[in-house]
Amino acid sequence: MGMPVLLIVFWVCLLLVAHTYVLFPLLLRELARGRRQNQNVFGPTAADLPAVDILLAAHNEEAVIVEKIRSTFATTYPLDRLRLLVGSDNSSDQTNELLARLATQYPRLHFEAYTKRIGKPGVIENLAQQATAPILVLTDANVFFAPDTLYHLVKHFQHPPIGLVGGHILNPEHRAEGISGQEKAYLERENLIKYREGVLWGSMMGAFGGCFAVRRACYHPAPAAFLVDDFYSTMAVVRDGYQAINELDAVCYEDVSDRLPEEFRRKARISAGNFQNLKEFRALLWPPWQGGAFALWSHKVLRWYTPHLLLLLLLATVGLVGRGAGWFFQMALAGQLALPLLLLVDGGLRRLGWNSRLLRFITHFYSMNAALLVGYVRYLRGVKTTIWQPTQRFQQGR
């Protein structure tokens, strides 16, 4: 490969990674400045607030299920217009017993226990078939609502073009030695990006699966073999011509794992599902200069292919240095080799009880990109099952 080709590969890869992580968020911030979210909303005490069915798939969630149910019903939303439908996916802990006890306290809670694992998409599809309300709220067991979360999710459905509204999930930052601080920063950034995509184009690139509302009339459950149902449901709404937006006032709190191996496993699974969705919704990538397609390329596709771009960048840099390129490329190669080595430094310092926030961000970046690459390989090999195991929660690790 000649020097000109290597130079093109180097700069294209570098610019594409910079675009998805830096340039696109900055561009969104400038384009969305002064723009407002949909203002055609239901009032908090409107007599015509729609009925809502909340769908929840649970598997071995004894550590969080009580708080989840209580936070759901401690709401300002009218309880007579609310139902919570729970499917327990062959739970083997105390989840079923706790749900049975809670059902006696909350008449609007309905749950069924499956005796065979069918996976989250299967549970949600079964619950959706039982739903009768015009608005569905999909949520996870480890996501806890604020009292006004449901109202802020549902208020936008006064506006007919709105098909889906995502919640504003926040992570508590727990331990300096873990990765909760990095996950918290990541989620805060993602929330803003998705909000601005909705403001500009009505095309948020994927709701957070732990909390979003969708019109039942335009809800499409993910196919049984799909691992990431929230992105599928969001993009199906966009494909149908509805708007998908993010509501920052619909705050809820996610109890997450602080352990890097747990997050790696979760993100590798999500990565395989992302590539399933990319194949399904590839028609939405064209023409790439239109708002929704531009957001899909910039926010998601380039992010998912960042591991590939980083490897190509490294190979191009090695080739350039080997052909006598100048000091800039020598420094670039040194940086690309040194940064991953900082993961070892971070791990060693952590064992000594010393934690660096900067080193932890580097660890988080490279670990999550490694998870993306593992997920891509799993996608190429074929997804064998959608059965999931919940990541370890903070309550379980205390």
Rg of the chain's alpha carbons, rounded to an integer?
22
Give Cα 85 distance to the centre of its chain: 22
pLDDT value for 398: 32
Q: How far apart are the first and last CA of the chain?
A: 54
DSSP count for the chain of H helices, then E strands: 15, 8
Statement: residue 178 has pLDDT above 60: no
pLDDT band at residue 349 using 50, 70 and 90 as cut-offs? low
Alpha-carbon span 216 to 281, nearest angstrom: 20
Which DSSP symbol is given to 216?
A: G
Q: 1-398 has which CATH code?
A: 3.90.550.10
Q: Which residue has the tokens 């709190």?
A: 253
Q: In 3D, which of 201, 141, 204 has the Cα closest to residue 168? A: 204
Statement: residue 59 has pLDDT above 80: yes
pLDDT tens, 105-164?
Answer: 999 999 999 999 988 888 999 999 999 999 999 999 999 999 999 999 999 999 999 999
Alpha-carbon span 151 to 166, nearest angstrom: 12
pLDDT band at residue 170 using 50, 70 and 90 as cut-offs? confident
Average pLDDT of the segment spanning 150-179: 85
Contact, 13 vs 314, CB < 8 A? Answer: no
pLDDT value for 184: 74
CA torsion sign for 72, 73, 74, 76 is: positive
Statement: residue 35 has pLDDT above 70: yes
Alpha-carbon span 152 to 118, nearest angstrom: 32
pLDDT band at residue 343 using 50, 70 and 90 as cut-offs? confident
pLDDT tens, 63-109?
Answer: 999 999 999 999 999 999 999 999 999 999 999 999 999 999 999 99
Go through the chain and tell me how many residues it has.
Answer: 398
Beta bridge partner(s), residue 168: 251
Q: Which residue has the tokens 């926030």?
A: 357
Statement: residue 272 has pLDDT above 70: yes
pLDDT value for 262: 79
Q: Where are the alpha helices (H) located in 296-356, listed in sequence order? A: 302-304, 306-322, 327-351
As given in the structure block, the two tokens for residue 318 are 């090695």
Indicate the pTM of the whole model: 0.90
pLDDT tens, 352-372?
Answer: 667 666 677 777 788 889 999
